[in-house]
Structure 1
């Protein structure tokens, strides 16, 4: 057994809080893989699990001085990783739900063709040929009357990307409607 492995977690935590950076390095070496595995068990993506473990380490390092019982470091730190993993899963689920709510294909295709004029029918068909991403931006801009900044926040994209998608959608619609 190595000398490092003989040092308890609580002793390492105490040493780190006292200013020993090497103690933190030992803790990271001891637990990082465990944190990654725990996050992977929840999020089912290796890269995301590594990111969550890294973010968790940042929080652990910031808050370790507030840990009242250093002997409980492992369970305390795993709880942080667990919560961050669950938060990530919830965020992804919420984003998927928002994207489903703003899917243009459903709302545009659900409009009966007999109820609208010839020009609107042509426009509807032209919009249906756009990519889903372009349809989303067109709907949010023209139907929901959101600003480009609001669209970027809603779709979690940059303002530049929203502007670009809208521009390319308009250009494609011009081509489609000239036919």
Structure 2
């Protein structure tokens, strides 16, 4: 067995599919933390995010033998984590007030100059407004801006057309622009 830390995802998947069960540890080492961060972005609860990722790994382990294109492991596995996180959100239907409370608190320090206060306020409003977006638009924004996915990669990960990904990104941007303009100029 080669050193799993230097093998690509594709090589690790091929190793696993050819019977080397130890190749799974290489995939887990490489992807567990990014999966946890992704799930956390959706649910805003570290424990729940870890549970979602555990459930996702179970599915990945069970279906890895059936993955036809090992080069697609990244987008395939991310789509599983995305789906599990969305399923959790739908099943629980509860809003997280922690983020809103945190970002709505006034900064008690008088040492921050006005431009920094405005920047902090705008970022707070943006994060709050992103949480209000529909889940499918929130996913697109996250993958496009924070994970630097292309529209093609997003379409593969979410199993939607490139046109649908582009449309969701456009509508999410428009909602955020409108909401930010209203909030930022209102206060």
**Structure-1-length-normalised TM-score:** 0.50
**Structure-2-length-normalised TM-score:** 0.48
Q: Which has the higher helix share?
A: 1
